């Protein structure tokens, strides 16, 4: 995960928490104004972190393709992984050039389904 992605995800999480806190403060203020009991807090509707933005081709690193490839090998087996590497024009993942990383990542994700 790049620093930019981490910052983007943290910013989205902070915005979600801020919105939830502001809503809760509004409810509490309204209950004091009406002199009614404060209702139980409910979790925010969207508690999942925002999906990180897709990386540009220049931002994809070897580490970005290594983990998905290993997961694919474990799921599909050695032979399909060898075929996939052949389609990328290499015999080993480490033979990929940096300019091929984005294409390789897309192919791995597509093959993994």
Output 6 or 67, whichever has higher pLDDT.
Answer: 67
The domain locations on the chain are 1-53, 57-112
The DSSP line for 22-54 is HHHHHHHHHHHHHT-PPPPP---S--SPPPPPP
Closest to 111 measured CA to CA, from 75, 64, 60: 75
| Listed residue (55, 48, 41) closest to 2, CA to CA | 55
Residue with tokens 């620093």: 3
Choose the weakest-confidence range: 10-19, 20-29, 73-82, 88-97: 20-29
- Specify whether the CB–CB gap between 94 and 88 falls below 8 A: no
* Tokens describing residue 79: 């032979």
Which run of H or of E encompasses 1? Answer: none
Q: For 21-36, what is the mean pLDDT?
A: 74
Decide if 27 contacts 39 (C-beta within 8 A).
Answer: yes
Average pLDDT of 77-103?
Answer: 92
Name the band, by pLDDT with cuts 50, 70 and 90, for residue 70. very high
Percent of the chain with pLDDT over 90: 42
Q: What is the pLDDT of residue 49?
A: 59
């Amino acid at each position: 995960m790049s620093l930019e992605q981490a910052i983007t995800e943290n910013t989205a999480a902070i915005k979600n928490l801020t919105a939830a806190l502001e809503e809760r403060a509004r409810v509490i203020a309204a209950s004091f104004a009406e002199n009614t009991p404060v209702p139980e807090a409910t979790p925010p509707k969207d508690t999942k972190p925002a999906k990180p933005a897709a990386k540009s081709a220049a931002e994809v690193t070897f580490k970005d393709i290594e983990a998905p490839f290993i997961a694919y090998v474990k799921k599909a087996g050695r032979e399909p992984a060898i075929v996939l590497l052949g389609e990328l024009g290499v015999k080993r993942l480490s033979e990929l050039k940096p300019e091929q990383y984005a294409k390789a990542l897309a192919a791995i994700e597509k093959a993994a389904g």
